[in-house]
Structure 1
Amino acid sequence: MTANTREKTSTSGKTPVTLLGLGAMGTALARTWLAADHPLTVWNRTPGRAARLVGEGAKPAGSAAEAVAASTLVVVCLLDDASVGEALAEADLAGKDLVNLTTTTPAQARARAEWARERGARYLDGGIMAVPPMIGVPEAGGYVFYSGSTELFEEHGETLAVPAGTRYVGEDAGHAALHDVALLSAMYGMFAGVHHAFALISKEESIDPVTFAPLLAEWLSAMAGGVHLTADQLRSGDYTKGVVSHLAMQVAGTPTFLATAEQQGVSAELLRPYFDLMARRLAEAGGEEDLTGVVDLLLR
């Protein structure tokens, strides 16, 4: 009988989980597993953070190594990759299933997967696409990207889905982190545009930002569908496919955006780098393309 089988026949009938890291996200994860009756062992570098969870049914561990020994399924949610290495330095990982939800780069995730393999553990990396209040609330839409051991994901998928939805993106351990950072990078780009838009109207007493917000949200939602056209153009290599507003026309319009910013007393530093890339692409490839060619300029 395997260790996993023994654990699944525990009193609750649920897979025991060890969780290392009890920050805001770790605490949210812990509470969802406790609410779902999973036996939970917890450890945090600052022991006091575990007190409330112990009162809710979690079992405290005196060290990370002790916590790892308590369960086959070990979930890590720490500050950074270095923290993971430090916490697990003395732990026996042989036969363990290590799920790392710590935010890292793709290269760090791949290196950590090899590090875990050398120590006899199966490894799964995760990128959490949610904030703590979304954990345990299915209707909030949060989910976690997972990549790495297919067998680990298939075996523990039900347990991992308790806090948030799961999306497996392949055996390359770096792909969860890559998906995570790619989506968040797009988010920050969107926020940059949002902040520039609000800056433009901020000095106009007759324009209420609360009234303006629905217009902005509706416009961004309408434009979001353009990602599918960009993806299709990248796959086909034809950047003129399905073009509605070609590059030459869009570059010709950029002086108006810059002039408006100047007239409103707003810095154009969020827009200008992208406009510069558009102008470079126009000079190199001509004006019949869509904006997709900017992707090529970003590749080094």
Structure 2
Amino acid sequence: MQDRTHAAAATPGETVTVAGWAHELRDLGGIAFLIVRDRTGRIQVKFEKEAMDDELVATGTDLTRESVVAVTGHVEEEERAPTGVEIVPETVDVIAPAEPELPLDPSEKVGAELPTRLDNRTLDLRRGEARAIFEIRAEVLRAAREAFRELGCTEITTPKIVATGTEGGTELFPITYFGREAFMNQSPQLFKQLMVGSGLERVFEVGPIFRAEEHNTPRHLNEATSIDFESAFIDHEEAMDACEHVVRAAYEGVAANCADQLDTLGYDDFSVPTEAFPR
């Protein structure tokens, strides 16, 4: 959608097309308001029933929540609107209508149990808190990668299907690999050491690891994302310095780029470590 404007960028005086999900609809009789949500936020769309085409009003006010829509119209200032602006629509295009009865409420006005959320994960991830977690996670990984590059590291990706275990302290996930027994890798440790010994000297990897350890929930996949570092010509103090550098960089990235997400999650005391870590 080349001519699309995100909700947060809609400026009074412009004619824009916003696209997103029908978050909420309030019908007050002679006037109705549609809240459209996209990844940048929400924007209000105003329908004055007496002054607008009946078909346009019907399209905008008969929407089911979470339907996918595109709205084209003129942006006006409105201090009573959630973001201080609203759209007076010229067209409303229903791209994908949603079912009238949803299994959960992404606006969280009505709560849902964890099994319901997991069974309907696409809807669940439309919640602001869930989206904030993913955005913070992405920033942590971005900042960590940049920090490793500052340390002169080369990023690698290692096999996740292996013939033998890497570590002896955890159970392995066995799989069948073209008629032969294989395992999901517990750690990239051996591969990191091979790469360091090849002459790269310093490497890191961000990738999945698998541990066949029992949990109390049948939904736990025993999969985690591991941030791994390996270096030649380094002692234990220098290794800890490298770890501190990466951890502090992740904090700094989140502090600089995720203020809204931290606020959504209720972290009002988030701060970057300023002193050396205890050793």
TM-score by length of 1: 0.28
Higher helix share: 1
Decide which structure has the larger Cα Rg and report it. 2
